Amino acid sequence: MIVSCSWDKTIRLWNVNSDREIMKLEGCSSLVLTVNFSTDDKYIVSGSSNKIIQIWDVHSEKLIKILMDHSNEVWNVQFSSDNQIIVSASYDRTIGLLSVKSSIRLKGLMDHFDCVTNKFIISCSFDNTIQIWDTETRKELKKLEGHADIVNDVKYFPNDQIIVSCSDDNAICL
């Protein structure tokens, strides 16, 4: 099963084997820019152009929680490995850590806008850098430089211990 989001304000689940849509979640009031499953595949978290983060129950196909933590579009959302925290990245140049249970902001990181979760957060930024942060302490562990322009996205492949980034400088870096 994979999940997709769309500018038509919907979230869709797809069966990979049959290439068929198996669920369509509606109820978003603006463009849905990002979606991800919880690690147990029971929930979906979405982020929208209207600054809202939503949590959906896959089994009931219902919206169960609405969170507001940013002052601009939410570009990336992910559950922590224990599904207790949502990490969100926004065009407001911040990364937020929100408690799923209480909806309270636990921590925030400024000036970076994309993320990958595990025991750390990897963020990219308008300052042409990638930073690795400790989730607990919020302290920067490492700053990676090498792009000549805005870094748009980062992905982490834990099995291979590789970070892949792309930038407005037309480069993809490993």
Q: Digits of tens for pLDDT over the chain (174 positions)?
A: 899 998 899 999 999 899 899 999 998 889 999 999 998 999 999 999 999 999 999 999 999 998 887 888 988 888 887 888 888 888 888 888 888 887 666 665 555 555 555 577 888 877 888 888 877 777 788 888 889 888 878 887 777 678 888 888 888 888
Alpha-carbon gap, residue 132 to 44, rounded angstroms: 25
Asked if 14 and 96 sit in the same domain, the reply is: yes
Alpha-carbon gap, residue 166 to 114, rounded angstroms: 12
Asked if 100 and 123 sit in the same domain, the reply is: no
Range of the domain at 142: 119-174
Residue 75: which of 151, 156, 148, 171 has the closest Cα? 151
DSSP conformational letter for 161 = T
Predicted structure pTM score: 0.74
Asked if 94 and 14 sit in the same domain, the reply is: yes
